[in-house]
Structure 1
Amino acid sequence: MNKSLAVGAIDEFHIDVYGLALIIKLVELRVHEDIRIVRQKMESEESVSQKPKEPGFIGGLKNSYHSMKGSYDNWKGDQLTKEINEKQRWLNKWSNDTWQSLGSHQTAIRSQSLQEIKSQFLAKRENQYKLYLVLQEAVLTPVYGEMEGFPKGQKERDIYGGIGVISRECGFSQETGKQMLKEANHFLKEVNNYWGKVIKWSLAGTGAALLTAGLAAPVIAGAIGGAMGLSGAAATSAGLAAIGGGAIAAGGLGMAGGMQILIGGGALLGAAGGAGVANFVGKLPQDAISVSMVKIINYNHYLQTHHRNNMEAKQINERVLHAFLTFKHQAEREVLLDSTYIENEEKSKKAIEIMNLAYKHLLEGKRSY
């Protein structure tokens, strides 16, 4: 007998299609900013190498030196050109894949500017708080992450600079995005130290394959698709469609609907409820669980510090914490009282330990205010 896995939405994390589009636009902007930095460096190198040669014997010695240096400069220029081309190629592939996840919406939205999409997203009052979740997805998306046909190796030239740019585009300070990144690094380091080993995901962009925006959503959707007997991209697509209530042709919301539910800190909380939670989290990579916990910690901190005297924000935060506690307690109950149906109890216990570390951070945050 198998315990069933319920898939549902957590309203506090659910964003609409404009939110998804905004995440994609922000990641695109982040990569464009990185490519701009490389182009700027290339232009600077070219201007130095084009200095005029000096006449005479001493000038000849200098020119010989400049000739050798010129060969090196040409090689360096070729490397920078190659870097730009590879980064642009990655962006083209990533963009096409992510926009396709929006299904029929992509044609009408993709051509719009970032600010136009942002305005439409913020037209709904409840999205004023969720804009933070949108930025967080763009910040924690590993740029230049592995994709089919794209090797590891590329890194952002100035990750904090790029994050600062997209933070400002969302109307936040540069420090908001940087703090998201620092908190994620801090929490992941704590998880690593807890077990004495390094988890695979990296903020520098050398992590798991990405089919859609963010990290945890595709992994969680893939786990659901895997339960259907599928694997790879087919499992991710089927999992997202299942979370979205089924394929569009069958009256569901399709992949885009699944992404809307899984985005933000609710990537984990929105994917499972009721029975089967412990077994489900035991099947997920520790990195996906850890990043989901980071998002909840960050959102909790944002609501408490930036909207401290706002009753609506306080109620949202209470519902977020209630959903987190319900999810964690359900997993704990199943491991303690109903472990017969858990396929890998040790992995389920480790997932709960990560959630307990998140609980510790949430408690520390509460004491700060």
Structure 2
Amino acid sequence: MTNSEHFRFDTEELELLYRIQYEAVAKEQTSGSSTSKLRSLLSTKQSLNSFENQNLLLKQQWLSEWSQATESLLGVSRSKPNLKNDVHATFSRWSNAKKSAFFVEVGTFVPYFSLSDEKKNTTFSSIKFHSESLLFHAADLLGTDVNELQKINKSYTKTIKAIHKETSNNNTLLILSVAAAASLLVAPYLAAGIGGLMGLSGAAATSAGLAMLGGGSLAAQGFGMAGGYVVTMGGGMLLSGGVNKIADNHKVANMSDNELIVSAGKLVSFLEHYKKTLFQSEKEELWLNTCASLRHLQASFEEQADAQFIMNETKPATKAHEKAKIIEATRYIVRK
């Protein structure tokens, strides 16, 4: 059965994730045209060629800048040979639960986000890419069928939309594309959130956080190789936060609402992927334990909101109440 260790990844394991992400993005860049069918119909051959060339240059620039920032800050490298062999060897040591958490991070990765903490920086916002091609290459590196990652991505996006529908009056998200929706939720919180955890700020902090991808919840236990850098992935922060109220609740409390929703999306995707390895009784136990953890978290935030409302601390009380609503919506999705 699962425990918090199944969601915790050290620097060496994060390096493997980074290498897969890098190679999948690099392969997507050389997979052919990024032009949509509509653009092809409405544009001349000359303008299409110009677009493709500019699009590729921006993709290459992003990959170079992202990889440099990630390698520098996390102390990782992509220069090791035999990536597929390393994946196979690592997976042979992992539990099915840990592999599922890792698959979720790969399957929810959305590249070409802003590498700056400046809100108006749009350097890479015009990049077009094929998410299907990215998932195909990632699946090949993982030694699995692309349908496996597609199901994870679909579950993740569906969960995010469902939570937004239940907790927000703004339905704009529902009309966005999958990639745009994921990017909208992932990008904004990382510069401040991860910069605060690591004592960093600016583009370096943003790049490092997003390197782990799709917008996962980072739990820094020290920093760098010597510090034993550890990341909680696959939505595991919500489970550990519910079980270990004193130790982890403050980490969940420091998440933005967007980060919390992303973590919830990953948690549901993890459950959907991991359940294939379980007997029915094991699945029921895991689902019950997950709901119990979420219920504990929900109650703690409601208790916090009650106290703050009574003391006329309206702003923090509202934030705590919003987090409780997100966790409640997640629990309802898990129960279905």
| TM bucket, shorter chain | 0.7 to 0.9
The answer on whether the counterparts of 2:104 and 2:234 sit within 8 Å (CA) in structure 1 is yes
Other structure's SS at 2:47 match: helix
Aligned pairs for 1:248-263 within 5 A = 252-253=227-228, 257=229, 260-263=230-233
Tell me how far apart the structure 2 counterparts of residues 131 and 17 of structure 1 sit (CA, whole Å).
Answer: 16
1:7-42 Cα offsets, whole Å, 9 max, x none, are xx931201233431232222223322321233598x
1:48 maps to none
Does residue 1:143 correspond to 2:114, yes or no?
A: no
The answer on whether the counterparts of 1:18 and 1:118 sit within 8 Å (CA) in structure 2 is no
Highest CA radius of gyration, 1 or 2?
A: 1
> What root-mean-square deviation, in Å, do the aligned CA atoms of Structure 1 and Structure 2 show?
4.0
The answer on whether the counterparts of 1:23 and 1:138 sit within 8 Å (CA) in structure 2 is yes
Aligned residues: 307
TM-score scaled by length of structure 1: 0.67
Which consecutive residues of structure 1, in runs of 5 or more, have no partner in the other structure? 1-8, 42-70, 365-369
Quick one: structure 1 residues 21 and 217, their matched pair in 2 at CA, closer, same or farther if it must change by over 3 Å?
Answer: farther
TM-score scaled by length of structure 2: 0.73
Quick one: structure 1 residues 244 and 287, their matched pair in 2 at CA, closer, same or farther if it must change by over 3 Å?
Answer: closer
Tell me how far apart the structure 1 counterparts of residues 70 and 224 of structure 2 sit (CA, whole Å).
Answer: 17
Q: CA deviation at 1:316?
A: 6.8
The answer on whether the counterparts of 1:278 and 1:348 sit within 8 Å (CA) in structure 2 is no
Q: CA deviation at 1:263?
A: 2.2
Q: CA deviation at 1:231?
A: 4.5
1:155 to 104, 108, 128: 128
Quick one: structure 1 residues 206 and 291, their matched pair in 2 at CA, closer, same or farther if it must change by over 3 Å?
Answer: closer
Q: CA deviation at 1:233?
A: 5.3
Q: CA deviation at 1:360?
A: 0.6
1:33 maps to 27
Quick one: structure 1 residues 223 and 244, their matched pair in 2 at CA, closer, same or farther if it must change by over 3 Å?
Answer: closer
Other structure's SS at 1:76 match: helix
Which has the larger displacement, 328-337 or 268-277?
A: 268-277
Q: CA deviation at 1:352?
A: 1.3
1:19 maps to 13
1:18-75 Cα offsets, whole Å, 9 max, x none, are 431232222223322321233598xxxxxxxxxxxxxxxxxxxxxxxxxxxxx94333
Tell me how far apart the structure 1 counterparts of residues 155 and 204 of structure 2 sit (CA, whole Å).
Answer: 33
The answer on whether the counterparts of 1:146 and 1:152 sit within 8 Å (CA) in structure 2 is yes
Other structure's SS at 2:268 match: helix
Q: Which amino acid aligns with 1:161?
A: S
Quick one: structure 1 residues 139 and 238, their matched pair in 2 at CA, closer, same or farther if it must change by over 3 Å?
Answer: closer
The answer on whether the counterparts of 2:240 and 2:293 sit within 8 Å (CA) in structure 1 is no
Tell me how far apart the structure 1 counterparts of residues 66 and 241 of structure 2 sit (CA, whole Å).
Answer: 24
2:156 maps to 184
Quick one: structure 1 residues 314 and 122, their matched pair in 2 at CA, closer, same or farther if it must change by over 3 Å?
Answer: farther
Which consecutive residues of structure 2, in runs of 5 or more, have no partner in the other structure? 36-42, 213-217
Q: Which amino acid aligns with 1:266?
A: G
Q: CA deviation at 1:262?
A: 2.4
